[in-house]
Amino acid sequence: MLAGRDIICLASQSWDSHWCTPQQICSRLAAESRVLYVEPLRSPLWKVRKAATQSREQAGPPRQVAPNLWVLTLPSVFVPLALYRRLPVLRRFNNALMSRLVARAAKTLGFEQAVVWVYMITHEGAGLMKQSPLTVYDCIDEWAGANSDPALKRFFSQLDRQLCIDADVLFLGSNQLAAPRRALNDCHALVPQGVELEHFLPPDDPATATPPELSALNKPIIGLVGVLNRERIDIELLRHLARSRPHWSIVLVGPVWEGLDTAALAQHANIHLLGNKPRESLGRYLAAFDVCMLPYLINDFTRNIFPLKLFEYLAAGKPFVSTPIPACEEFPGLIRTAPDHASFLSAVDEALTETGSALRDARIATARANDWSRRVADKASFVGQQFQKRQARLAPSPSLETSAERKTA
Task: Read off the CATH number of the domain in which 316 is found.
Answer: 3.40.50.2000
Instruction: Give residue 351's pLDDT.
Output: 98
- pLDDT value of position 110: 96
Q: Are residues 275 and 201 in the same domain?
A: yes
Domain range spanning residue 170?
A: 7-194+372-394
Mean pLDDT over 124-152 rounds to 83
| Whether pLDDT at 43 is above 60 | no
Is 165 in the same domain as 299?
no
Across the range 263-270, mean pLDDT stands at: 94
Highest-scoring range by mean pLDDT, 75-84, 120-129, 146-155: 146-155
- Comparing 11-15, 353-357, 374-378, which segment has the lowest mean pLDDT? 11-15
Residue 62 located in a structural domain: yes
Residues 100 and 236 occupy one common structural domain: no
Within-domain flag for 405 = no
Determine, yes or no, domain membership for 409.
no
Q: Which residue has the higher pLDDT, 406 or 321?
A: 321
Average pLDDT over residues 230-249: 96
Total-model pTM: 0.88
pLDDT at 214 over 70: yes
Distance CA 384, CA 80 (A): 36
Tell me: do 286 and 156 sit in the same domain.
no
Mean pLDDT for the chain?
87
How large a percentage of the chain has pLDDT more than 70? 87
Residue 399 lies in a domain: no
Query: What pLDDT is attached to residue 406?
Result: 42
Predicted local confidence at residue 78, as pLDDT: 58
Any domain includes 2: no
pLDDT at 32 over 80: yes
| Residue 41 pLDDT > 80 | no
Q: Is the pLDDT of residue 377 over 70?
A: yes
In this prediction, residue 405 has a pLDDT band, given cuts at 50, 70 and 90, of: very low
The reported pLDDT for the residue numbered 407 is 42
Same domain (yes/no): 153, 46:
yes
pLDDT of residue 125: 63
> Is the model's pLDDT at 402 over the cut of 50?
no
Q: How confident is the model at residue 314 (pLDDT cuts 50, 70, 90)?
A: very high
Express each pLDDT in 56-105 by its tens digit. 456 679 999 999 999 999 876 555 566 666 777 777 777 788 888 899 99
Say yes or no: 111 and 238 in one domain. Answer: no
> Same domain for 360 and 376?
no
Percent of the chain at pLDDT > 90 equals 64
pLDDT tens column, 154-197? 888 988 999 999 999 999 999 999 999 999 999 999 999 999 99
pLDDT reported for residue 51: 47
User: Is 408 a domain residue?
Assistant: no
What pLDDT, on the 0 to 100 scale, is given for residue 55? 47
Q: Does residue 107 lie in a domain region?
A: yes
Reported as a pLDDT band with limits 50, 70 and 90, residue 372 is very high
Residues 166 and 292 in one domain: no
- When pLDDT is cut at 50, 70 and 90, the band that residue 394 belongs to is low
φ/ψ region of 155 (left if φ > 0, alpha if ψ in -120 to 50, else beta) reads alpha
Q: How many domains are there within the chain? A: 2
Residue 402 included in any domain: no
Tell me: do 225 and 348 sit in the same domain. Answer: yes
- Together in a domain, 352 and 363: yes
Q: 323 with 386, same domain? A: no
| Together in a domain, 272 and 164 | no
- pLDDT of the residue at 47: 52
Q: How far is CA 259 from CA 83, 285, 354, 357, in A?
A: 21, 25, 36, 40
